Amino acid sequence: MTATPELSTPPEIGGIGHSVLRQEDDRLIEGQGDFLDDLVLPGMLHMAIHRSPVAHARIRGIDTEAASAVEGVVAVVTGELMAAHNLAWMPTLSGDTQAVLATDKVRYQGQEVAAVIATDPYIAADAATLIEVDYEMLPAVTGPQQSLSADAPVIRDEKEGQTDNLVYTWSSGDAEATDAAFARAAKVVSLETFYPRSHPAPLETCGIVADVNSVTGQATVYLTSQAPHAHRTLFALVAGLPEQKIRIISPDIGGGFGNKVPIYPGYVVATAASLLLGTPVKWIESRSDNLISTGFGRDYHMRGELALDDDGRILALRADVLSDQGAFYSDAQPSNFRAGLFHVVTGSYDFGAAHVTCKGAFTNKAPGGVAYRCSFRITEASYLIERLVQNAAYEIGMDPAEFRLLNFIRSDQFPYTTPTGFVYDSGDYHTAMRKAMDEVGYTELRATQAAAREEGRLIGIGVAHFTEAVGAGPSRTYDIAGLKMFDSAELRVHPTGKAILKLGVKTQGQGHETTFAQIVASELGIPVTDIKVVHGDTDNTPYGLGTYASRSTPTSGAATSMVSRKLADKARKIAAHLLEAAEADIDLAAGVFSVRGTPERSVTIQDVAFAAYTNMPEGLEHGLEGSSYYDPPNLTFPYGSYIVVVEVDPETGVWKVERMVALDDCGVRINPMIVEGQIHGGLTEGFAKSSMQWITFDDDGNCIGSNFMDYLVPTAWETPRFELLETCVPSPHHPIGAKGVGESATVGSPAAYVNAVIDALAHLGVRNIDMPVLPDRVWDAIQSAS
Ligand code: CDP
């Protein structure tokens, strides 16, 4: 199927397929949002963190006297005090430990060393600068290659049995079959590339207001959290607080993008301080705190090799990855997969063998590796295979789009098992690619490119086709820190036919208050505007693993369908009672229950809701409410074909995007407008990564990229115009056929932009320019080629 299915509800109900305006936006754009820093509680104190200015040093002593003497300072907290409460270290989501406040050593610039609690945020920040730490400097290790060399200092020397800086070695696929395929290959193509460290940089930084009642022990924690339920359980386990006395409220957090999944030391210190002082304590990061010290993404050094036969068909893939994990291993990855889902690196292609190895290394950098606007490490994987495939096409003299069409998994091969064990649910890659090629005018463009070359102009046409794996669970395979990855929804229809839907996931701006209401509207015919969607409050929503890695729609969205269907079943019984007909004869369409054959005999969902509280048939419980916990049978696999056209200035290396055609297939689109917004965001981010954005470090471990002057966030001025297309191959196992889409464009587009620049220079023999593709790098490539 390649067209969006027909709408089942009229616009006034606004179910699946309608571009309903975002219900949350009036509140958000009129200044009525409820962000963390807006929160003021009576008697609230403020916390500021003193961070290490150096990357690696032993702590000889900490002098807090001057800070403590400042008027308005209530307490200064050090690691020693935290240690007295057994809280100097905390477990990470990946089974490592992380210092809450440093006691023995600092291991990266920006690490938390002490905290000041004061009556005013500025007093706290000023006093934090007065803390004096006596450091004995140690050599900084700023790259994973250096870190794994024999003479590197051991960064995690506090860990029993740790004698080097290796975090893990993990592999997937069949090494023997892969070796055999390489042995019989007609050609082997290789690429060594680096996906630099980058940062989610949400609009609102991370923060907490901890309010622990010293009498009742009730801890109400307002937290910038993408996963409030999981965080509540982990808080209970770490702090030993009874879970029923912890309520986590995640308000209108201004974006997450993976940054708000980990638990940060500031959260733990603020909660401990509130517990000890008996007053609410607020901590919110500065922009630099956020950029230097919280969950980074990427930082993958990758080498890939493709084995090809005589006809240009891929036989096998070998990939070796070296991951820079920073000083603590604190990724939020599913436990079974230490390098995330990197083994989806076989991409959209049909071949028999693959072997992937990944090593993680500790370095003197902030801990990183969050699922930054992608499903766990899939952006890196997609980037590697798409760059490799492009180069393979050049090496055998085939057009890169034709090479992909030759090697794609065919639509009749789905469900398709990849050589690393994923089962792709559905797809039609050939149709997607051809549609994108038609839209951009691919054949003519190649002719234009050739003619332009004659005039010394450098036009490049970059292609990327990606397959993403989103929607984790299923719970039998996927868990984070032992918590199984299912998700939930709870729905209650009130007597007047209005409804409240409570979600296990947590919106950070993706429009869940609209799209999830649309699912209910489609199933029950209750208008979207009559449905209130609640999320982010653990006392008032069912348990769920949260929103990241495009999992909300495939998991909690599915649970929303399932609970709506449960209510529809009960509603049908009530309608049969009201219509004095047999339940089996009742049809439901767009909120109207009618008797089959005599459609004029009907009642509405609103009539049924009223009857659920006033006129129930004998033997049926009152009320119209229920909940569903949905454990998906598989991931869903959205995909897309992207084509970018650039022109490179041969004199300066500056490149400009002339066209960006992006075709996405996320199955059934609940809200086409919201999906397009998600894609625009991802394409913009892909453009930023490929052209301007990275975080790097000098040899001493000083972070370069600690503010928005160094870490560039694209504006509307430089962002290209996007031309969006779609196909629709529904997910066969999802109740409404939707696949997640939230992150796809970030996954697919960086390779498309970079491939476009490389394509402009491919005839000169250029095969690689690392991201970000800065003009000087392009210019260097041109110079060394000529
Ligand atoms: O987990 P997250 O919400 O970030 O990702 P998602 O489930 O892919 O959804 C992103 C937004 O797009 C949500 O508002 C979804 O409901 C919406 N969406 C949609 O309207 N149709 C789809 N097929 C997929 C997502």
Question: In this predicted structure, what is the pLDDT of residue 304?
Answer: 98
Out of 42-51, 229-238, 672-681, least confident range = 229-238
Which alpha helices (DSSP H) does 55-213 contain, by range? 65-69, 79-84, 121-128, 144-147, 175-183
- Which ligand 1 atom sits closest to the C-alpha of 507? 3
Condensed to tens digits (0 to 9), the pLDDT of residues 632-666 reads 999 999 999 999 999 999 999 999 999 999 999 99
Whether the predicted pLDDT of 4 surpasses 60 = no
Cα–ligand 1 centroid distance for 97 (angstroms): 33
- Which ligand 1 atom sits closest to the C-alpha of 547? 1
- Mutation choice for ligand 1 from 487, 678, 724, 746, CB with most ligand atoms inside 8 A: 678
How confident is the prediction for the chain on average, in pLDDT?
Answer: 96
- Mutation choice for ligand 1 from 506, 507, 510, CB with most ligand atoms inside 8 A: 510
| Ligand 1 proximity of 671 Cβ (cutoff 6 Å) | yes
Report d(CA 432, CA 443) in Å as an integer.
Answer: 16
- Which ligand 1 atom sits closest to the C-alpha of 675? 12
Cα–ligand 1 centroid distance for 740 (angstroms): 5
Q: Which of 297, 362, 285, 359 is nearest to 108 (CA)?
A: 362
Question: In this predicted structure, what is the pLDDT of residue 682?
Answer: 96
Q: Which of 157, 249, 702 is nearest to 506 (CA)?
A: 249
Mean pLDDT confidence for 748-770:
97
Q: Are 65 and 162 in contact (CB under 8 A)?
A: no
User: What are the respective helix, strand and coil percentages of the chain, to the nearest 5?
Assistant: 30, 25, 45
Cα–ligand 1 centroid distance for 203 (angstroms): 20
- Mutation choice for ligand 1 from 373, 547, 741, CB with most ligand atoms inside 8 A: 741
Strands 655-665 vs 639-648: parallel, antiparallel or unpaired: antiparallel
Q: Where are the beta strands (DSSP E) in 347-453?
A: 353-362, 416-417, 423-424
Mean pLDDT confidence for 17-31:
95
Condensed to tens digits (0 to 9), the pLDDT of residues 284-311 reads 999 999 999 999 999 999 999 999 999 9
Cβ atoms within 10 Å, residue 243:
12
Q: Which helix (H) or strand (E) holds 604?
A: strand 598-604
Condensed to tens digits (0 to 9), the pLDDT of residues 261-291 reads 999 999 999 999 999 999 999 999 999 999 9
Burial class (CB in 10 A: 0-12, 13-18, 19+), 484: middle
> For residue 132, what are its two tokens?
């004096």
Calculated CA dihedral for residues 738, 744, 745, 747, nearest 10 degrees: -170
SS (H, E, C) 302-320: EEEEEEECCCCCEEEEEEE
| Confidence band of 5 (pLDDT split at 50, 70, 90) | low
Question: In this predicted structure, what is the pLDDT of residue 476?
Answer: 94
Peptide bond before 262: cis, by omega within 30 degrees of 0?
A: no
Condensed to tens digits (0 to 9), the pLDDT of residues 480-512 reads 889 999 999 999 999 999 999 999 999 999 999
| Ligand 1 proximity of 667 Cβ (cutoff 6 Å) | yes
Angle of helix 744-761 relative to helix 672-691, nearest 10 degrees? Answer: 40
Cα–ligand 1 centroid distance for 739 (angstroms): 8
Strands 300-308 vs 281-284: parallel, antiparallel or unpaired: unpaired
Report d(CA 465, CA 431) in Å as an integer.
Answer: 12
Question: In this predicted structure, what is the pLDDT of residue 3?
Answer: 40
The structure's pTM equals 0.97
- The residue whose C-alpha atom lies closest to atom 24 belonging to ligand 1 is 740
Q: Which of 285, 361, 358 is nearest to 328 (CA)?
A: 361
277 phi and psi, to 5 degrees? -90, -20
Burial 389-407 (b: 16+ CB within 10 A, else e): bbbbbbbeeebbbebbebb
| Ligand 1 proximity of 23 Cβ (cutoff 6 Å) | no
Mean pLDDT confidence for 588-604:
96
- Mutation choice for ligand 1 from 19, 547, 553, 736, CB with most ligand atoms inside 8 A: 553
Question: In this predicted structure, what is the pLDDT of residue 292?
Answer: 93
The one-letter amino acid at 254? G
| Ligand 1 proximity of 547 Cβ (cutoff 6 Å) | yes
| Ligand 1 proximity of 741 Cβ (cutoff 6 Å) | yes
Torsion sign across C-alpha atoms 559, 563, 568, 569: positive
| Ligand 1 proximity of 518 Cβ (cutoff 6 Å) | no
Cα–ligand 1 centroid distance for 575 (angstroms): 33
- The residue whose C-alpha atom lies closest to atom 17 belonging to ligand 1 is 675
- Mutation choice for ligand 1 from 261, 675, 736, 743, CB with most ligand atoms inside 8 A: 675
Question: In this predicted structure, what is the pLDDT of residue 563?
Answer: 98
> For residue 676, what are its two tokens?
């397009």
Q: Are 591 and 526 in contact (CB under 8 A)?
A: yes
| Ligand 1 proximity of 666 Cβ (cutoff 6 Å) | yes
Cα 613 from chain centroid (whole Å):
42
For the chain, percent of residues with pLDDT exceeding 90 = 95
Whether the predicted pLDDT of 238 surpasses 90 = no
- The residue whose C-alpha atom lies closest to atom 22 belonging to ligand 1 is 669
Question: In this predicted structure, what is the pLDDT of residue 592?
Answer: 97
- Which ligand 1 atom sits closest to the C-alpha of 670? 20
- Counting Cα atoms < 13 Å in the Cβ hemisphere of 383 gives 32
Residue position matching structure tokens 């069949």: 174
- Which ligand 1 atom sits closest to the C-alpha of 514? 14
Q: Are 669 and 557 in contact (CB under 8 A)?
A: no
Mean pLDDT confidence for 359-365:
98
| Confidence band of 77 (pLDDT split at 50, 70, 90) | very high
Whether the predicted pLDDT of 1 surpasses 50 = no
Strands 586-589 vs 57-63: parallel, antiparallel or unpaired: unpaired
Q: Which residues are catalytic?
A: 226, 373-374, 743
Mean pLDDT confidence for 577-601:
96
Bridge partner residues of 190 (DSSP): 305
| Ligand 1 proximity of 515 Cβ (cutoff 6 Å) | yes
> For residue 367, what are its two tokens?
């801990």
Cα–ligand 1 centroid distance for 415 (angstroms): 23
Residue position matching structure tokens 């919106």: 507
Q: Are 208 and 348 in contact (CB under 8 A)?
A: no
Whether the predicted pLDDT of 2 surpasses 70 = no
| Confidence band of 237 (pLDDT split at 50, 70, 90) | confident
Question: In this predicted structure, what is the pLDDT of residue 425?
Answer: 97
| Ligand 1 proximity of 670 Cβ (cutoff 6 Å) | yes
> For residue 456, what are its two tokens?
């010394």
Cα–ligand 1 centroid distance for 550 (angstroms): 7
Mean pLDDT confidence for 702-727:
94
| Ligand 1 proximity of 669 Cβ (cutoff 6 Å) | yes
Bridge partner residues of 208 (DSSP): 223, 283
| Confidence band of 6 (pLDDT split at 50, 70, 90) | low
Mean pLDDT confidence for 410-428:
98
Cα–ligand 1 centroid distance for 552 (angstroms): 7
| Ligand 1 proximity of 740 Cβ (cutoff 6 Å) | yes
Whether the predicted pLDDT of 365 surpasses 60 = yes
Cα 101 from chain centroid (whole Å):
27
- The residue whose C-alpha atom lies closest to atom 3 belonging to ligand 1 is 552
Whether the predicted pLDDT of 7 surpasses 80 = no
